[in-house]
Structure 1
Amino acid sequence: MDTQKLHREIFKVSDGEKWHLEHPGLFSPFYEKLQKEYYNDQLCYCFDFVNTLKENSVGIVRESRFTEIPLHYHKDMELSIVYSGECTFNIQGNDMRLTTGDVCIIDTDVIHSAKYKGENDIVFNIVFRKSFFSSNFLAEVADKGILGDFFLNAIIDNRSHDNYLVFRTKENPKFFSIVDLLLFEYYWPSSCHASLIEHYLSILFLELINTLHQNTASYYQFNENQKNMMKILKYIEENFSNCSLAGLTKHTHFSTSYIFKLLKSMTGSNFSALKLQQQLKRAEFLLINTSLSITGIIEQVGLKNPTYFYNKFKEVYNKTPSEYRKMFAHRNQSVGLRAEQEEIRFFTKLD
């Protein structure tokens, strides 16, 4: 990938930006075609990305420099990336200064605006419908861990439309490497550009989940309960094989009653259920990606009762462990047969 070529294209002054340089302080004639409306007691525009998302589930827009973006909302979700320089967003009436490497995910129907951007201030908006999260590869994202589950639920919570999350990704060089790949497809589309852009976006979400694991300072627009929730989930995810409620309270310095109430209100589950959820996720990973015996997997994830494991795994994945492993047997053809033989031996002993 020619990054110099990409950067020349990114920083090129567009025709619209030339107009703003020639008409300082004025909004684009584009707004003359739009009607303002009162939404949540505020007079603002509704941006419709119907053309941007007409054929694809993901669209990319570089925000115009040398002007402000007035108050608006939209019916689709938006992931804004400060690619260079800085930008001040006003979201729900709060000014928020973001700099290079900052990412803001804005839910549908959130009223926001952006202040004037100079020559070196580059912001890309990736817009997508919530239905994007139902695709197969994002379903995989949700299966990577309970912290990832919580992250996605915070974004796509259908009970409210006032969510916005801000992340710092400056310390994650991989994130911007993926952004460059995505933008290269945007500017010079290949024959598979639509699928590639969707998959690059899913990888960006995975990297945001990585920032949650690596650095708690990376998420600074979460409220106190959400931050505490992530500390709890991170501890369970990293110590699922042997963690206990007593160990969790000692690690977080939260009371047992606070943990119980927080887990129930924000996930609908209790400590034991979340621990089991993570144990089963890890077992699924080991079944697919290793030749470790099922007995070995049960021991590694910290479960003591094989019957309990088999029952719970089938309850969640609708298949026995050996049946599930055989679905991916092309990775190791001998693994599926070995697992099936082991399962037969196990249930023969029960009989």
Structure 2
Amino acid sequence: MNTDLLQILEKITKEEELILSGRNSVVKNLYTTKKDFIIDSKKMLEKGKLIDVRTHTRFTHFPKHKHNFVEIIYMCKGSTTHIINDISQVVLEEGDLLFLNQNAYQEILPAGEQDIAINFIVLPEFFDVAFSMLKGENMLKDFIVDSLRQDTGKSSYLHFKVANILPIQNLIENMIWSLMNKQPNNHKINQTTMGLLFLQLLNYTDKIEQSKNDPYDNYMTLSVLRYIEENYREASLTKLAEDLNQSVYSLSKLIKRNTGHTYKELLQVKRFNKAVELLTNTELSVSDIIAVVGYDNTSYFHRIFKEKYQMTPKQFRM
């Protein structure tokens, strides 16, 4: 991170001065007026703003709490330890990102002076521009987006270990700088930057780490969706179940429960999206495209394609 920017972020805040002087706990009324510790966006954001940043409060245990906004935590320097939903311990190292939706509980163990984390406070509507940049059907994208944006009642978090991914680090630093310096047109700039960040993160879903004890099976669902994205030509539910140490029956139920689709439907979406891409952007014959996307039954492909798009592959290309 830029040295000048990091020096600003390292400064002791007024709340931290109180803690160091003997208070020894966070100042709860800075975050909420309610009895339950739900951090309120109205306390964190100026009226009319959809996003802002603040440094994480160091030197004390941050008690269990929720947010009525999406929180994105970026580890600028050092590390912090987060307990999420009472069961998952996540250690953020320098360069890591942690996304928390509005239903995730967290508490944070005491951070030292050199442990510098940035909290992005984000209202869900801020993501409208970012998500509009993610074109096309993609079940992996949809799952990630929904886990962050929708108030589904599920406690979701995503931990990206992306310290070595330079474009991602640059985009985050640009957004921090823009928000802290109140750059002109920063609203549009930051919404676009968030969209670019999501596009980059979709290239690195293998960098997502989640506890296998997550009560809503997000770890397993992400593994399934990533497998389909990367292996759609020869994808096999039986092999996937073996790799994940699950029975085919239990994995099928989990997929349907968490995505609303069967494994076969997810695989078909991916294969047909790829077929449409090849029909649009290449000169490959239809028969070659059918083989490339993993089908060996030509008549079945033609029938399903026509049901989905109301035209034949040849007509679609024309």
Give TM-score, length-normalised by structure 1: 0.72
For the 8 Å contact 1:103–1:166, the answer to whether it is kept is yes
Distance in structure 1 (CA, Å) of the matches to 2:242 and 2:24: 58
Distance in structure 1 (CA, Å) of the matches to 2:156 and 2:289: 39
Q: Is residue 243 from structure 1 mapped to residue 235 from structure 2 by the alignment?
A: yes
- Residue of structure 2 in register with 1:12 after alignment: 11
- Residue of structure 1 in register with 2:256 after alignment: 264
For the 8 Å contact 1:294–1:321, the answer to whether it is kept is no
- Residue of structure 2 in register with 1:327 after alignment: none
Tell me which amino acid in the other structure corresponds to 2:111: K
- Residue of structure 2 in register with 1:326 after alignment: none
Distance in structure 2 (CA, Å) of the matches to 1:196 and 1:154: 24
Distance in structure 2 (CA, Å) of the matches to 1:178 and 1:30: 32
Counterparts of residues 290-305 of structure 1 (less than 5 Å): 290-292=281-283, 295=286, 297-298=289-290, 300-303=292-295, 304-305=298-299
Distance in structure 1 (CA, Å) of the matches to 2:136 and 2:111: 39
- Per-residue CA shift, 1:269-298, capped at 9, x if unaligned? 22221111112332454466x354673655
Using the TM superposition, give the Cα deviation of residue 78 of structure 1 relative to its aligned residue in structure 2, in angstroms: 0.8
Show structure 2 runs of 5+ residues with no match.
none
- Residue of structure 2 in register with 1:125 after alignment: 119
Distance in structure 2 (CA, Å) of the matches to 1:150 and 1:179: 22
Using the TM superposition, give the Cα deviation of residue 55 of structure 1 relative to its aligned residue in structure 2, in angstroms: 2.7
Tell me which amino acid in the other structure corresponds to 1:221: S
Distance in structure 2 (CA, Å) of the matches to 1:238 and 1:314: 24
Match of residue 178, structure 2, among 168, 185, 191: 185
Tell me which amino acid in the other structure corresponds to 1:236: I
Distance in structure 2 (CA, Å) of the matches to 1:83 and 1:33: 22
Match of residue 211, structure 2, among 198, 204, 221: 221
Match of residue 176, structure 1, among 153, 169, 176: 169
Match of residue 279, structure 1, among 266, 271, 275: 271
For the 8 Å contact 2:130–2:196, the answer to whether it is kept is no
- Residue of structure 2 in register with 1:329 after alignment: none
What secondary structure, in the 3-state scheme, does the structure 2 residue paired with 1:116 have? coil
Distance in structure 2 (CA, Å) of the matches to 1:285 and 1:342: 10
- Residue of structure 2 in register with 1:99 after alignment: 93
Distance in structure 1 (CA, Å) of the matches to 2:164 and 2:130: 25
Distance in structure 1 (CA, Å) of the matches to 2:10 and 2:166: 20
Runs of 4+ with deviation above 6 angstroms: none
How many correspondences in the alignment? 311
Distance in structure 2 (CA, Å) of the matches to 1:82 and 1:206: 20
Match of residue 308, structure 1, among 290, 303, 309: 303
- Residue of structure 2 in register with 1:334 after alignment: none
Distance in structure 2 (CA, Å) of the matches to 1:173 and 1:15: 33
Q: Is residue 200 from structure 1 mapped to residue 190 from structure 2 by the alignment?
A: no
Distance in structure 1 (CA, Å) of the matches to 2:306 and 2:139: 20
What secondary structure, in the 3-state scheme, does the structure 2 residue paired with 1:101 have? coil
Using the TM superposition, give the Cα deviation of residue 196 of structure 1 relative to its aligned residue in structure 2, in angstroms: 2.0
Using the TM superposition, give the Cα deviation of residue 82 of structure 1 relative to its aligned residue in structure 2, in angstroms: 1.9
- Residue of structure 2 in register with 1:331 after alignment: none
Q: Is residue 147 from structure 1 mapped to residue 146 from structure 2 by the alignment?
A: no
Match of residue 233, structure 1, among 225, 237, 255: 225
RMSD between aligned residues: 3.6
The alpha-carbon distance between structure 1 residues 15 and 106, as it changes in their structure 2 partners (threshold 3 A), is same
- Per-residue CA shift, 1:209-236, capped at 9, x if unaligned? 43323x5xx4133537433333332222
For the 8 Å contact 2:306–2:312, the answer to whether it is kept is no
Tell me which amino acid in the other structure corresponds to 1:128: V
Tell me which amino acid in the other structure corresponds to 1:239: N
The alpha-carbon distance between structure 1 residues 285 and 248, as it changes in their structure 2 partners (threshold 3 A), is same
Show structure 1 runs of 5+ residues with no match.
323-338, 344-351
What secondary structure, in the 3-state scheme, does the structure 2 residue paired with 1:24 have? helix
Structure with the larger RCO, 1 or 2 (CA within 8 Å, 6+ apart): 2
Give TM-score, length-normalised by structure 2: 0.78
Match of residue 79, structure 1, among 48, 72, 75: 72
What secondary structure, in the 3-state scheme, does the structure 2 residue paired with 1:141 have? coil
Task: Pick which of 248-257 and 57-66 moved more.
Answer: 248-257
For the 8 Å contact 1:53–1:128, the answer to whether it is kept is no
What secondary structure, in the 3-state scheme, does the structure 2 residue paired with 1:123 have? strand
Distance in structure 1 (CA, Å) of the matches to 2:77 and 2:253: 42
What secondary structure, in the 3-state scheme, does the structure 2 residue paired with 1:59 have? strand
What secondary structure, in the 3-state scheme, does the structure 2 residue paired with 1:87 have? strand
- Per-residue CA shift, 1:132-180, capped at 9, x if unaligned? 44x2531443746322223333334533153333333334343322211
The alpha-carbon distance between structure 1 residues 274 and 47, as it changes in their structure 2 partners (threshold 3 A), is same
For the 8 Å contact 2:53–2:121, the answer to whether it is kept is yes
Distance in structure 2 (CA, Å) of the matches to 1:78 and 1:293: 45
Task: Pick which of 66-75 and 80-89 moved more.
Answer: 66-75
